[in-house]
Chains A and B, each alone.
Chain A
Amino acid sequence: MTVQPKARPPHSSGRQQRPAIRRAVAGLALVAAVAGCSAARELKLSLSGSSTVAPLAAEIAKRYEASHPGTRVDVQTGGSSRGIADARSGTAQIGLVSRALRPEEADLVATTIGIDGIALIVNGANPVRSLSDDQIRAVYTGAISNWRQLGGADAPITVVTKAEGRSTLELFLEHFRLDNRRIRASVVIGDNQQGILTVAGDPHALGYVSIGTASQEATAGTPIRLLPLAGIAPTLENVRSGRYPLSRPLNLVIQPPPAAGVAPFLAFARSPEVHDLVEAQYFVPPAR
């Protein structure tokens, strides 16, 4: 116990380790190199907000970057409320908001880049062809709970609504003058696509989603049907003309004065140069 021989691993093991160490060092150097070349760009715009607007905004951003070298446009999501908050706080120069601005948001300026309509949808197997506003209100408040009361099969209605914080929900509530606390929902969904999947998979479901999404899915053969609202068919033409009652503007909002480089981007996002992108996302370009 008195002698403590200094145990050294044989030399050979040191040699064995070296390639591994060298590889690790090389890897770190690579990471450092990648981190180091964050070249200062002349201009960086950041957008954040509505998950409905984000895919469109990202496409517009890409086209803008291609025609404006030296400008970089980053798009983040998180919902319209976040778009408003980020535009106000300056976290993002431009907020994405999928509804019209409210009176208390008069400090912000909106640029409409597209219009989205909301459609009531039922499963393709459902015989019910139309519902009045009163009937829809009754279903969503729980006063009507069976399709038989609406001229359909004897089956309970699966009421599909959107989660709190979604502007589709806000628009829906506003249009039907409903209070979210009064809504008796069977399923609460987050996004359009989830709503379509829910209704397509349940023959007794009633839900509401973006018209663009719904008509694209219906055309692609997904078993859902769009219901007319107040007798007006839920078509893109009717949304464009403003006849369809349940529609919303897709806005880019800023807190004036606009930061450097923001004004040209807003002008570009409104221009006919991006109308094909707006239509590709199943939205309707704004009338000029």
Chain B
Amino acid sequence: MAKRGAARFDRVIDTALALLAWLVALLVVGMVGWIVADLLRQGLPRLSWAFLVELPGDAGRSGGIRPILISTLLILGVCLAVSVPIGLATAVFLAEFQRGHRGFGPLVRYSLDTLAGVPSIVFGLFGNAFFSITLGLGFSILAGGLTLACMVLPLLIRSMEMALRAVPAEHRLATAALGLPQRVSLLYIVLPAAAPGLAVGLVLGIGRALAETAALLFTSGYVDRLPDSLLDSGRALSVHIFDLAMNVPGGGSQAAATALVLVALVLLINAFTSWAARRWLGSLHSTTF
């Protein structure tokens, strides 16, 4: 009798725990749904093809976001062109050459983790002082992109290092046993095998870069004109959303529409990145062996 009671008690606890797990998961999904629904409700009526290709008017309350979209892509381009090569190289260095707990590697990792915890406004002030003033880039897309690169590097390197470390050591041993040099093992075995993980790192970096406002306000700036060059100031989507929501009375719905574009852009770039990473790095893998 006591045994049956205990069994029933266990069953009740299990069911309760399962329900709780479901509830928490639903809460998370609900939160995302709430945000998206709110953005859709406010922004969707304003969203159209014209919104994407027109110039902004009346401090952003009318017209579209073409220059802002283009500036954002240019800033992101500069950021990735600088941060991906440096990030991948550092990740390879840490994962392939500094696997131990001694020496230079831990120092690099410690510096990166410290950098990752620095608030973005600090990167903004640093970028303004260093790129804009000391290097004389002024308020420019170049200064904004470089500041963002500094900011996403820690995230990029650490996640790419994890991806490389997740590749089983047997892969490397097998290539070494065949007498192949390390560069071959790295290029044709380790990198392709780590491609999905590297793509995740890249996606995280892009997401952080696209979401950034504070670091860009004082580096790439506030000008919403179509940029002629990377040395022009250009307003990023996030800065535009911030300005419309906070400084422009009656800018709420345009801010929501811009936010929808930003969310769509992030999803699009994420999908493209993982597809491209699999395809490009995967092709190295399949054609060699």
Q: Which A positions have Cβ atoms within 8 angstroms of B?
A: 1, 3-5, 7, 9-10, 12-13, 16-17, 20, 28, 31, 34-39, 46, 51-52, 54-56, 58-59, 62, 74-78, 91, 190-194, 210, 212-213, 216-217, 220, 280-282
Contacts and interface: CB of A to CB of B under 8 A. Distances in A.
B280 interface: yes
Given A55-B60, A280-B58, A78 B229 contact: no
A36 B222 contact: no
B246 A213 contact: no
B247 to A, nearest CB: 5
A77 B217 contact: yes
B288 A13 contact: yes
Interface in B206-246: 217-218, 221-225, 228-233, 243, 245-246
Interface in B101-154: 133, 139, 142
B81 A31 contact: yes
Given A54-B247, A191-B247, A74 B59 contact: no
Contacts, number: 115
Contacts of B224: 58
14 contacts: A4-B181, A9-B287, A13-B287, A16-B284, A31-B230, A35-B230, A38-B229, A51-B243, A54-B222, A55-B59, A74-B139, A75-B222, A192-B249, A193-B247
Q: Which of B243, B248, B249 has the most CB of A within 10 A?
A: B249
Contacts of B284: 13, 16-17
A281 B218 CA distance: 23
A34 B59 contact: no
Interface residues on B, range: 35 or more
Nearest to B61: A280
Contacts of B180: 7
B74 interface: yes
Contacts of A62: 225
B233 A76 contact: yes
B184 A9 contact: yes
B45 interface: no
B45 to A, nearest CB: 15
A17 B279 CA distance: 11
Contact of A5 (B179, B218, B223, B228): B179
B233 A74 contact: yes
Contacts of B283: 13, 16-17
Given A55-B243, A76-B222, A12 B287 contact: yes
A95 B246 CA distance: 21
Given A74-B233, A75-B223, A77-B217, A35 B247 contact: no
Given A7-B179, A38-B232, A58-B224, 12 more contacts: A4-B181, A31-B78, A35-B142, A36-B229, A37-B229, A38-B229, A55-B243, A58-B222, A76-B139, A77-B217, A193-B248, A213-B249
